[in-house]
Amino acid sequence: MSKIDISTLPLVRVYDGETAEGRQCYVAVGEPYIFYDEKGFEYCRFERDALFIKSVHENLCTLKVRDSHIYFEAACSSTDLSALLALDERVTSKRPRTLATLIVVLFVSVGGLYVVSPYIADMLANRIPISWEERLASSFLEEIEAYRCEDESLLQTMFLALQDYEDVKYTKEPWLVHSPIVNAFALPGGQIVVTSAFLNFTEEPLELLGVMAHEIEHVERRHISRQLVRDTILTSIWTIAIGDYSGAMVLDPATLNHVVNLSYSRAFEEEADAGTKRRFHDLGYDTGPVANLFERLDDSDGDAPDILSTHPASEKRSAYFASIGGQKPEIIPQSLWERRDDLCGRHTPRWLMIPEWAKDRREDLEKLFDAGILDE
């Protein structure tokens, strides 16, 4: 066996399974490619097509022999080795392809998570006990309890009119609270809250009944838990997908996450509207008054486009509830309805007059009110 001068040949390390450290060899350009040991004797040879690049890490190239357990490690910057394996072309073309593949895989994975996240969230939300929701809302209920009106008989009567369904399991008797804000909402745990301003804004009982039916739908369909879980999942997805590169994005990830969540909120609103319409239909009630309510609310919707609103546009909701016939029964005595303005009193409660900076001294200030030192 002939011996050659290996001093000018590029150095590689061969891993053939015989030793964990591998074997130091030198490779000669040619057909086939011949690998020599440290003494200059031939160790092995392979055709060019038998070798391919398995990986590239910084300046270290790993070359694999097809259909074999043997592989080599060599410096990618070696001129002879670069010429031998055409590394200039294969390595530079491999890196962008790998990066592009990673980007595609990332976006496909994130997109897939977005598609399935609502189903995952709904499944998890249904496992959350209602007691957890009640604890979540307890502190807020403690805060607004001071604003409750003494006479809630009107809302309680309305609530009883909607309790003929077996699916009303979680909703609690509604609260009427003194507030100048026109609003009605459901809290975690099933508590519905209606403001005095909203009660006074309605013009007939079926308008109020429609809003209460809408909030019952939110509670019974566990929309609040589903929204909280979905928000948590979406936030996690954004964190995984964007990481520390959010500053390079034109649109902030938090904004994108908010826009996606808005679509879920609108979906819940539409679901609650559909349930409300179904309840009215089953009871034989006319949905026309609900449509009239949304027509009046349309003037206070503002200029925000529908896509940036958590609720469908009032105009669309008004059209959805357009009258298709039905009864307008006397759900509550007319005398009770006519005095709805007085259920919370005609004057602002004294605790609403206490400035924000003095809220922690409310008990002391109320004593002054009671003693007549301060006048309402």
pLDDT over 70 at 260, yes or no: no
**Sequence-ordered list of residues with C-beta below 8 angstroms from that of 39, at least 6 positions apart, any chain:** 3
| Residue range 65-80, pLDDT digits in tens | 887 888 888 877 654 5
- Please, are residues 293 and 202 in contact by the beta-carbon 8 Å criterion? yes
pLDDT-based confidence at residue 257 (cuts at 50, 70, 90): very low
pLDDT for res 44: 86
pTM of the model: 0.58
41-55, 107-121, 127-141, 192-206: which has the minimum mean pLDDT?
107-121
Tokens of 300: 């206070």
pLDDT over 60 at 346, yes or no: no
pLDDT-based confidence at residue 290 (cuts at 50, 70, 90): very high
More confident residue, 253 or 278: 278
Tell me the range of 48-52, 74-78, 315-319 where mean pLDDT is highest.
315-319
Mean pLDDT of 246-260: 41
Q: Which residue has the tokens 């002939």?
A: 2
Q: Do β-strands 60-65 and 51-57 pair in parallel, antiparallel, or remain unpaired?
A: antiparallel
Tokens of 203: 């013009």
pLDDT over 50 at 24, yes or no: yes
Distance of CA 189 to the CA centre of its chain: 20
- Please, are residues 214 and 280 in contact by the beta-carbon 8 Å criterion? no
Other Cβ atoms less than 10 A from the Cβ of 223: the count is 21
pLDDT over 50 at 201, yes or no: yes
pLDDT over 60 at 248, yes or no: no
Contacts of the segment 138-142: beta carbons below 8 A, 24+ positions apart: 138/189, 140/187, 141/187, 141/191
User: What's phi and psi for 89, nearest 5 deg?
Assistant: -80, -45
In the chain, the percentage of residues whose pLDDT exceeds 90 is 13
Mean pLDDT of 160-181: 82
Which domains can be identified in the chain, with CATH numbers? 11-85 (2.30.29.30), 125-345 (no CATH)
- Please, are residues 289 and 329 in contact by the beta-carbon 8 Å criterion? no
Mean pLDDT of 192-199: 92
How far apart (Å, rounded) are the C-alpha atoms in residues 276 and 270? 10
pLDDT for res 126: 79
Mean pLDDT of 346-360: 52
